[in-house]
Amino acid sequence: METKWTDLDEYFCEKYANYDKLCLLPGYQMPKMQDSKIGDDGLTYAYTLPPETMRLAKQENKQDILREFKKRAFDQTFSFSFSVQSWFKRVGNLFRKKTSGKVLRALLTRHNLTEKTANDLLTIDEDVWHGIYKGTFLPTKNTVFSLALVAELSASEVDELFDACGYEWDFTLVKDTVLSYLIQNRIYNAEMIKRACEEYNVENLFIRSER
């Protein structure tokens, strides 16, 4: 069990990319971002190092800095479960092969879940979930994350649903970074998910606690 949390911390240090927040943490040492090299022609050329140079993984005291980060972490994402698609968007979806509703239904079928059994795993109003299932409503990113964890979707399946919804992973967000680790490593145990979310103050998921 302890190894899992060490791995999560290491993954977070490698992937989290909100450098504006990181550089303000106590103990963070701003790395040298400019360097130079001598070219084949004998001239000296200056260049800028990539932004990844600023990641926590590059800091000698990364565990101490991460500990301070966790004390200040809070979830900035909204708790909405859906957004209403415009009439023009819904009409256009009639001619698209991969819409949010079509991809969602296909993934649930693949995992032997019906509209009802999937909704039973989530704290989403039945009518709202019906709209998401039918494609009338667009699931928010938080809803996709919640479904992925309870339905045990693979990383590629989450990417498929992301693509249909117009989303992408954002590693400047704590939630995306932590949940990416869980999904990439297929960690779907309810207690482990709860502990990971508490460790990094991730909130606004729609997972039914008594599942």
Closest CA to 66 of 25, 15, 7: 25
Beta strands in 56-190 (DSSP E): 82-84, 137-139
- At residue 211, the pLDDT reads 66
- 50 phi and psi, to 5 degrees? -65, 155
Instruction: Tell me how far apart the alpha carbons of residues 115 and 54 are, in angstroms, rounded to a whole number.
Output: 44
- At residue 56, the pLDDT reads 97
pTM across the whole model: 0.87
- 3-state DSSP call for residue 120? coil
Q: CB–CB of 133/103 below 8 Å?
A: no
Q: What is the mean pLDDT of each run of 10 residues along the chain (211 residues)?
A: 68 97 96 86 82 96 96 87 69 69 97 98 97 95 98 98 96 97 96 95 92 66
Contacts of 43 (CB under 8 A, 6+ apart): none
- At residue 74, the pLDDT reads 86
- At residue 3, the pLDDT reads 43
- At residue 2, the pLDDT reads 44
